[in-house]
Amino acid sequence: MLSLETPYYEIEGIVVFRDHALPTLFHYLAGPPRLTVRDGKPHFRLLKYREALAGSTLSPSTRDQLGGGFLTFGVDCRVDEETLDAVRTGLIELLSDQIASLEDEIALVPVLYTKGTVRLLAIDQCSGLADAEPEPATSTPQSRFVRGILGTATPSLMGHQEAIFSVALAPDGVALIEGAYRAELSPIGVIYELELSGLRPALAVRVRTDQKKVYQSLKMELGLGIEAGTDAPASEGETRSSPRGVALDAELSRAVASLVESGAIEIELLQQQEGPEVDRIREAAMKMVKEDILAEMFSPTPTAQAAPSLDSATRGAGELAASTAALGRGLSSGHDQDHALELGFQLRYKKEEELEVRTYRYDVARPEPRTHAPNAFFSLLTRDTTLDQHITEVGLDDPFFQLLQLEVETTTTDFARLGLQTIVVELQYGGTLEAPRQSASLLFTPADPSPKGFRAFRDQDDFSYRYRVDYRFADSDEVAAASLRHTTEWRTTTKRTLVVHPPEDLDLLQVYVEPAVVDWKLVRTIEVALAYSDPASGFRSERSYVLEEGSPRREWVLRIPVGAPREYSVRPTWTLANGTKVSGEPTVHAHPRLFVEGPFTGRLRVRVVPAVDPTSVGLIVGELVHVDPGTGLESRRSLSLEPPFRPTTLELPLIDPAHDEYSWSYRLFAPGASTPAEEKGPIVGNAKVQVISEGDVVHLEIEVVIVGDLAAAEVLAVQVDLRAPPPPGRQPQIHSLLFEMGGETRIKQRLALRADRDPLYEVQTTVMTMGGDAIVSEWNEHTGPVLGLDLATLMSPPQDG
């Protein structure tokens, strides 16, 4: 499974993630968008007509509908084999010191996307900004360049994320588009929003967020949702956001840091940590919180720009993007900032009742959805002679106005995967459904999925036609369905390129089943029983899969009735390592990726603190054992530590978190010895911390830190005295540490404490000032390996009583 843990790699503009289990398996994201190339030719056509059309007999409404031309093209995020070879070579160079025989073993697989949309940015218009609260119609001026954008809002997720667009252009738009492409510039951009799932690393952190405070603060700090020239408040019980407010990633990072400082986001460490490790964990937690906030509250969107005039737009078209070096090749923001769309994030519209206090737990590695937004401007990059092949100019006597001539194509090439036998597109022009003036049926098959044409003599000013699509399926064990045929309703359109995109007509429920993070030493197999039911149509389907270590991802495909619910039920049965079977309760899911967990609902975490003298102990070997009383399953974790000894945490999965009793034992070896000098245990209990002691003595290393500038405080030195109840047979001892002006601010001291008592010690400080005063504190109890002393507090005289 794709691991979201760093490091990940960017090679040749392609982002590559590691696999959570196999060190030689890597998952690569979709490449930057580019024009689709078929048979060596860009899928691009600009159809324009001369200004003489303005004096024709066509009605004003028809002229406005047609605009000044039509631009049709295809885009995809394909990563070619040459680039993949370069990525593979780059990985070999980066990881040659970590993995042997990389050249033969490294494998690259594309990321599986389960949801996706694609939007088009054409000159000054962008197709639908998702999840934004709509503004009044009067607030957005009509474009003088673009009349309308049509296309496949959902790309083909299983291939190369292909999508097809058609743009109706005004005469000014035609002039700008043609001029820009002849200058090898980039007036067209696309923004994909693709959802993938990856394994989030475990982090011993719990984060609590007040969603309402977070939402309001983001709007205020980033200037989102505040329209210029108006100070009208939102209606009661409603939180408004303007789709014009766009934030950049760096701004969001600063906003999250501010929210942590204000308390709207609270980060709680679930395990005791020390020194720089605390900062590292908090920083990692803030990154995770930002990802969750981005996924839940924001949509990627281009940064807004004012609509240009025709002259300024033509002169400034080069500022949209510089020319690239390969035909139809787009560049992502991570590869070359000069060619990338400037991508920001737009705050989604949220109602008051959606904003609640939420707790995120990051202490268990689990799959999480993430959004990938490849985006780019792209150029056709052809010479004028080649560009002329993609641009057609027509006049009033051209067949374009005498004939209704259109091209029909399908985005589907993998008929077998959908269980498709044929796609029949029925077309009608004029007349009625029962008696059309002209009609045709176009057949697409696995052997012939190529585009087809249709012609009809135009009837006066009518450029519209009717069509419906008839899908016929094979009876397949791989695709469950209520019917082997689906026919759409009749639709009316004026598009000169008709794109048949099966996912827009068919309700396909695709569920990808794979194990999540499962401890296969404790679990033999997982039987997953899936069930779907639509009460309205009576359609029902069931399927079972058996997963074990190394099982590939399974795909369950259902063709469900249009508009039917997309929820399905899951019931896992686990066979444990000792042969015991554990059945889970049925649960309802709706996400297309199903990650099946183990039967464990909690984790046993025991903090092991070595408190031994490294001069007399060279090796510590320990073992933590837990037996589940319900199933008899025994789980173990071993520990081996060498100097310098540092605290560590042992974890075991629990089927029932209420039964957390365990046994703990350890052995101490002298330096270089093969037999243990001391053995302890088994110690039975459920304590969260186990201190490893040497005999009846606990050796605790204390790091004393002075916080503050001695010179600025006019302090010559600070003496810190440490004492603790001595182990049996030893005399009490006071350890004195001296911190001088300009000297060390951190000093370590090892204390010998009693193993049969809590590891407490006492501290007394003496501050010696430049004025000759000595400020002496009382003896105060402390615990823990880090003792931070604030200089300003130490200089406060002790209070009487």
Write out the DSSP string of 532-576: EEETTTTEEEEEEEEEETTPPPEEEEEEEPTT----EEEEEEEEE
Residue 272, pLDDT score: 57
Rounded to a whole number of angstroms, the CA Rg of the chain reads 34
Options 3.40.50, 2.40.160, 2.60.40, 1.10.3470; CATH of 397-496: 2.60.40
- Between the CA of residue 70 and those of 47, 186, 308, what are the distances in Å? 5, 17, 21
Return the structure tokens found at 174.
């035609």
Q: What per-residue confidence (pLDDT) applies to 29?
A: 94
Distance CA 424, CA 486 (A): 11
What residues contact residue 678 under an 8 Å CB cut-off, 6+ apart? 667, 668, 694, 695
List the one residue out of 53, 73, 45, 68 whose CA is nearest residue 145.
68
Domain 507-596 -> CATH class: mainly beta
The CATH number corresponding to 697-794 among 2.60.40, 1.20.1070, 1.20.120, 3.40.50 equals 2.60.40
Give just the sign of the alpha carbon dihedral 749, 755, 759, 763.
negative
CB 268 within 8 A of CB 205: yes
Same fold, 507-596 and 602-693: yes
CA distance 92 to 24: 10
Q: Cβ atoms within 10 A of the Cβ of 619, count?
A: 19
CA distance 697 to 752: 6
Give residue 381's identity as a one-letter amino acid code.
L
Domain boundaries, the chain: 1-201+373-382, 202-228+237-305+344-364, 397-496, 507-596, 602-693, 697-794
The answer to whether domain 602-693 has CATH 2.60.40 is: yes
Residues of the chain with pLDDT under 70: 49-67, 98-104, 128-143, 151-152, 221-250, 270-278, 299-345, 363-364, 378-386, 394-402, 460-461, 797-801
Which pLDDT score, from 0 to 100, does residue 4 have? 85
Q: Look at residue 277 in the predicted model and tell me its pLDDT.
A: 63
Q: What pLDDT sits at residue 333? A: 37
Kindly report whether the global pTM for this prediction surpasses the value 0.75.
no
Return the closest-CA partner of residue 251 out of 338, 347, 336.
347
For residue range 300-315, what is the model confidence (pLDDT) as tens digits? 665 544 333 434 433 3
